[in-house]
Structures are given as C-alpha cells and as structure tokens.
Amino acid sequence: MKVTKLLHTRMRVSDLDETIRFYTTVLGLEVIEQKTSPRGSQLAFLKVPNSAELIELTSFPPSGPVRVQEDLVHLAFQVESLDETIALLTMQGVKITDGPTNSSSGSRFIFIDAPDGYEIELIERPAGEDIV
C-alpha cells in the first residue's frame, strides 16, 4: 500500500459555529461544505487558500467537552506579512500567545489560539521560500 494524497485533517470542536467564525473571519478560510454525518456529527470542511488539503471541523456534543492537550497538535499557515498579520489580529482582539520569533532560516512566526485551545502558527517565509 502507498498513500497518494493528504485529503483533510479532522479536529473535534465544542462550538462549530464559533470555530467556523474564527477560521473564516480571523484566518480567511472558506467553508466549502457543511453536513451531518450518518452518526449525527455536525461537519464543516474548510479550504485554505493555495492548498489542496482541507480542514474538517466536527462537533458531536454527546462525546463531551473538547479538551485539547497543550503542545499536542497545531496548524501552521503561511502569511505574506507577519507585521500586517499582527496588526490585524490586534485590531480583532486576538491574543498572540508566543512570538514574534525569528528562525535561523529567516522565517518569522507567531502563535495564536483557536477556540478550544488549538494552537495556530502563522509564519512569514523569506521571499521565494514556499517549503515546509
């Protein structure tokens, strides 16, 4: 067996509407589909600009509250300008939890928290660099 493509990453959330609002308003992602799964989970698929992979958000209240373990997982997104991103986040009242930090590769990054405590890394790469 050999996998051929990463399709999506699934994250369980407590409040689907609040989380969708965060990802669309703060990060500019687009909801491309919302539906109910056969077992009753509420699902939303979000598209990230310039990426083929999707983020699947799911809410299933009978499973109990979501508890995200610190430093377990995070999503990383590339931004054009970290300074502009910081200014926009500040205007929206979004707290920067770490950074800005300069890396040895020339990248700069910050961290913010999404609803339920999922950590988001926002990275500005040096001009011409688009790799992981």
What does the block give as tokens for 103? 């890396």
Q: Which of 33, 53, 121, 129 is catalytic?
A: 121
What does the block give as tokens for 122? 């926002």
The angle subtended at Cα 29 by Cα 116 and Cα 44, nearest 5°, is 60
Q: Which residues contact 7 (CB under 8 A, 6 or more apart)?
A: 53, 54
* 18 in active site: no
**Measured between alpha carbons, how far is 46 from 48 in angstroms, rounded to an integer?**
7
Q: How many CB atoms lie within 10 A of CB 29?
A: 19
Q: How many CB atoms lie within 10 A of CB 124?
A: 22
Q: Which residues are designated catalytic?
A: 121
